[in-house]
A and B are shown apart, each in its own frame.
Chain A
Amino acid sequence: MKNPLDSLWGTVISGLVLTLVLYMIVKFALQ
């Protein structure tokens, strides 16, 4: 499997996915 960080789009999409995951975790922890 290709490393997503090898492409700029892969890097940006990975960052957006990570943002969503962390947001959900924090949102859940705050409930």
Chain B
Amino acid sequence: MGDFIQLGLGRWLHILAGVMWIGLLYYFNFVQVPALAEAAKDGTGAGITKHVAPRALFYFRWAAVVTWLAGAMILGAHFLDAFLFLKPTYYPIGVGAWLGTIMLFNVWVLIWPNQQKILGMKPATDEEKAKARRVAFLASRTNTMLSIPMIFFMVASGGVFRTVIFAM
């Protein structure tokens, strides 16, 4: 029963939350940022920043937390084997786990506090907003870049995929 919850339900939850997290990350990068750039030309972006962005950011940042916690739950007693690369079996998932952890850090330390300034949830001068916009943008783009190897190593760490990719 313990394994069913930790490995079965844990993996399910990890993937559900991960889809929401990375799905919203791709929404921001592939849809919202280019859309706001277009909207800035005719001044129609207010609806996106007022009604869409705060909701998307809410699910984005909390899905990131749930994804990481569910991932940590799946690793369980092997948490340090993965993060400290103590056993070769855990090298691939260790790389995926580190990439996911860096991405979680970017969400909560770089993206969310700066988005609060950009969206007017926190007081900020125009200069501070401009700086916040650049930092949040680059952190978001960094996460998009990191998501590519992160998903590769997550996929390559289990079952038949690990055999095919790493011959383990």
The residues of A with any CB-CB pair to B shorter than 8 Å are: 3, 5-6, 8, 11-12, 14-16, 18-19, 22-23, 26-27, 29-30
Contacts and interface: CB of A to CB of B under 8 A. Distances in A.
B153 A18 contact: no
Contacts of B29: 8, 11
B95 A15 contact: no
Given A11-B29, A14-B145, A30-B88, A22 B166 contact: no
Contacts of B152: 19, 23
Closest 4 CB pairs of A and B: A15-B148, A5-B141, A19-B149, A15-B145
A2 B81 CA distance: 39
A22 to B, nearest CB: 5
Contacts of A19: 148-149, 152
B37 to A, nearest CB: 12
Interface residues of B, number: 22
22 contacts: A3-B138, A5-B141, A5-B145, A8-B34, A11-B144, A11-B145, A12-B144, A12-B145, A14-B145, A15-B145, A15-B149, A18-B145, A19-B149, A19-B152, A22-B149, A22-B153, A23-B149, A23-B165, A26-B95, A26-B166, A27-B166, A30-B166
